[in-house]
Amino acid sequence: MKTIHKLGLTSLIVITLLFSCKKANYASGETTDSRMAADSTEISSSAAVEQKDSKQKFIRTADIKFKVKNVVKSTYAIENAVQKFGGFVTYTNLQSNIHEQIKTKISLDSTLETTKYSVENNITIRVPNTQLDTVIKTIAKQIDFLDYRVIKADDVSLKILANQLSQKRGTVNQKRVEQAIDSKGKKINDVIEAENNLANQKEDNDNKIVENLSLQDQINFSTVTLQLYQNETTRQEITASEKDSTSYQPNLGIQIFDALKSGWNILQAILVFLLNIWPIILLAFGGWFLYKRYSKK
């Protein structure tokens, strides 16, 4: 009976431990899933979501800096996602920055070249404002560590309205000036001044039209600036060693022959030089001879 009681107690303890471990694993899995879900949405914002029934007109922009596992692969993934959702890339600057380069000679003809570098890319993309939130959430899948994210929604409704009203006033003034020129413009100076005013008014109207078109374009397509980087990478490569200049010198026999040849050339040059100045040598010898002869007397 005692043995049976001990076996029953042992079985109860084992079952309790298994149940506790299973519950702990479930809780841990639930926490992990929750953390993953939070990570996939933490860079998004309500400022990136378009309000369909809103009368306001927003220019939405985003500025995000983050670390990735591989900059090149993440760049391709982001570019494909942008194209998929109807956007386009306006700027990309993929480059490697070398931090340190060490050359170690490992044999007479081989050198180990160690390079420490980091890869980064600055990307500017434009996406439809209706897809901004979706694109940002897609980009979040590439993030290994988020440095910062800034999302802005600037309301330009009043700016557009002010440009439209200014354009209407300009059109009315333009018509009035044109009528004044046709009916009352008699003197050439008055006509020229009125024409200049009319040209300035037309230019102001055109500028308001262009500004509104630019604002509308920024409303329709949001601008996203991305800064991608990865951990420092080390690259090692074995290359052929550069030979010293002494390795390329000729042997002793060739050096002796070259020395004799150079000496003969120098001797020839001296002889040619003496022949070229023989009058000077002759005068000097004559002067020395006369000096010796008359100096004794």
**Each residue's pLDDT tens digit, 174-201:** 666 666 666 655 555 555 566 666 677 7
User: Which residues, at least 6 apart from 133, have a Cβ–Cβ distance to it below 8 Å?
Assistant: 44, 48, 49, 50
Mean pLDDT of 132-149: 92
Q: Is pLDDT above 50 for 278?
A: yes
Is residue 17 pLDDT above 70, yes or no?
Answer: no
> pLDDT band for position 6 (50/70/90)?
very low
Q: What per-residue confidence (pLDDT) applies to 30? A: 40
- The strand pairing partners of 235, in sequence order, are 115
Q: Would the pLDDT of 155 be above 50?
A: yes
Q: Judge whether residue 51 has pLDDT over 80.
A: no
Give the β-pairing of 145-155 and 233-240. unpaired
Lowest mean pLDDT: which of 11-20, 59-68, 198-207?
Answer: 11-20
Specify the pLDDT at position 121: 96
DSSP lists the bridge partners of residue 113 as 103, 237
> What span, in angstroms and rounded, lies between the C-alpha atoms of 88 and 65?
19
User: What residues does 226 pair with on adjacent strands?
Assistant: 64, 123
The alpha-carbon radius of gyration of the chain (Å, integer) is: 44
Please, are residues 123 and 73 in contact by the beta-carbon 8 Å criterion?
no
Q: Counting beta carbons within 10 angstroms of the beta carbon of residue 102, is it exposed (0 to 12), middle (13 to 18) or buried (19 or more)?
A: exposed
The pLDDT score that the predictor gives to residue 23 is 46
Residues in a beta bridge with 94: 121
Q: How far apart are CA 195 and CA 73, in angstroms?
A: 60
Its pTM stands at 0.59
Supply angle C-alpha 48, 53, 55, rounded to 5.
Answer: 85
Q: What is the pLDDT of residues 231-273, one digit of tens each?
A: 998 988 888 877 666 656 677 778 888 888 888 989 888 888 8
The mean pLDDT value for 207-223 works out to: 88
Residue type, 23: K
